[in-house]
Amino acid sequence: MSEKISAIIPCYNEEYNIKGAIESCLFADEIIVVDSFSNDATLEIIKQFPQVKLLQHEYEHSAAQKNWTIPQASHDWIFLLDADERTSQKLIDEIKSKINSNPNEVAFWIKRDNYFMDQSVNNVWKGDAVIRLFRKSKCRYEDKHVHAEILAQGDVGKLKHALKHDTYAGKGLEPHLLKGMRYTTWAALDRVKKIKRVTYYHLLIKPFFAFLKRYILNRGFLDGKAGFIISCMGAWNVFIRNVKVYRLHAGEKFDTKLKK
């Protein structure tokens, strides 16, 4: 008897991406979309797929949204997909084969092939991988505002085939910049208790090394203009994140209800 799998797709205002994301999960025995009260055409598109179970839940942060949804899945094996990610037939076949082989692992890393500004970027985000296949009985997301990863009670393996990830497609530059502002707020909240005092090390050296890592060490320069832009944005986001930590120490408040 083959193992069954529940696919979960979190979303908010993803009218461009949601159809492709759902179609990427049609191999699953159950598809759950958890929406953070979208106000574009996202819900109308979701309703075109009668097999999709639509949940709506107020957004606190990404990990909290996922941890709220996971227990509501019918099956132990969970495949979690962001709206801007896509599967391939090779990845789907590998997922099915892996969970039906009675693996010792309770979760699996999946690599991501990244695209940005209409081109593949193979270097600047080198080594990008996420845990997206896991047992709900053994795994949950860590309690972080941003870039939370799975906490697994058991071994974690790796799949060979990758997800396609295009964080830019269909949205353009301004939404991407606004996403960066949201992420810097969440990242600052995660670090405000760890960074006791913001110094020029945080405001100058840390951003510089963020650029150096992506553009030189990861060889982002081989990704052309896109690699340079990503490296600059990454450095800027580190700078703004630490400015926000500085202002949080001074008592300034930032909106924590922003959605992904």
205, two tokens? 């050296």
Residue matched to tokens 């081989």: 222
pLDDT at position 216 over 90? yes
Tens digit of each residue's pLDDT (9 = 90 or more) over 160-199 = 999 999 988 878 899 889 889 999 999 999 999 999 999 9
Confidence (pLDDT) at 82: 96
Is residue 217 helix, strand or coil?
A: helix
| Cα separations in angstroms, 144 against 64, 73, 141, 188 | 8, 22, 8, 11
CB atoms within 10 A of CB 2: 8
pLDDT tops 80 at residue 258: no
Mean pLDDT value across the chain: 94
Between strands 129-135 and 150-152, the pairing is unpaired
User: For 179, phi and psi rounded to 5 degrees?
Assistant: -60, -40
What confidence score (pLDDT) does residue 204 get?
Answer: 97
Q: Is the pLDDT of residue 87 over 60?
A: yes
**Amino acid, single-letter form, for residue 163:** L
Q: At what angle do helices 224-249 and 173-191 cross, to 10 degrees?
A: 40
- Compare 78 and 62 and report the one with higher pLDDT: 78
Torsion, Cα 86 90 91 92, to 10 degrees, reads 90
**pLDDT for residue 148:** 87
The helix/strand/coil state of 139 is strand
Backbone phi, psi, residue 108, to 5°: -140, 135
CB 46 within 8 A of CB 69: no
Domains of the chain: 5-166 (3.90.550.10), 173-249 (no CATH)
Confidence of residue 90 (pLDDT cuts 50, 70, 90): very high
Q: What is the pLDDT of residues 103-146, one digit of tens each?
A: 999 999 999 999 999 999 999 999 999 999 999 999 999 988 88
Higher pLDDT, 45 or 254: 45
Name the pTM for this structure: 0.91
Average pLDDT over residues 149-156: 95
Burial 15-30 (b: 16+ CB within 10 A, else e): bbbbbbbbebbebbeb
Res 260: pLDDT: 52
Q: With a cut of 90, say whether residue 43 has pLDDT above it.
A: yes
